[in-house]
Amino acid sequence: MAKVILLNGSPDAKGCINRAFEEMVTVFANEGIDAEIIHVGNKDIRGCMSCGRCGQLGKCVIDDIVNEIAPKFEEADGLVVGSPVYYASPNGTVLSLLDRLFYSTHFPKTMKVGACVVNCRRGGNSATFDVLNKYFTISNMPVAPSTYWNMIHGFTAEDVEKDEEGLQTLRNLARNMTFMIRAFADAKDKYGYPDIETGKFTCFQDGK
């Protein structure tokens, strides 16, 4: 069975992001996709120290929830990251987690389907949406589309219920993720995944 993990970056485990994820999980369940919500927004997660130890250990040297999520990410066919807006950006906990999760994991992420969901009371959603999507596009992960940007408005989970277009957007997002996961699995069997070039690393020291 295909699997999607959803990382809830809100400090409020039952807040706006969770309500948005519930809308998606209902669709995933109806489509036969195994979906797991992981609440990370209230965890003590520090940023990357740039120590390079993950290259030797195969995991982050800071042994916290990042290392717990890593094997689930490797197994998953899709990843959804949700964050509230803090000063027109994802909150610091989410950014610290994603920096370390993506940098310390060396398994291929090719064709895992990525999506983000963002929430604000009023403004800053589009800037936050842009920041989160960059983790996918640097990792060879296709980004799932929807019928609007994946954003919901509201200060509480009850407010989100009033954002009917936002909830509709999330239902369509879940359906599109399901389709993409299935289509990529079929294409892998039929064509194989694209060859990925590696080894080039821009560095202008010593004339290189």
Question: Within its chain, how far is the Cα of 58 from the centroid?
Answer: 21
CB distance 119 to 82 below 8 Å: yes
Give this prediction's pTM: 0.95
pLDDT tens-digit map of 119-157: 999 999 999 999 999 999 999 999 999 999 999 999 999
CATH of the domain at 20: 3.40.50.360
Query: For 82, left (φ over 0), alpha (ψ -120 to 50), or beta?
Result: beta
Q: Please state the domain count of the chain.
A: 1
Each residue's pLDDT tens digit, 44-82: 999 999 999 999 999 999 999 999 999 999 999 999 999
Which range of residues forms the domain containing residue 53? 3-207
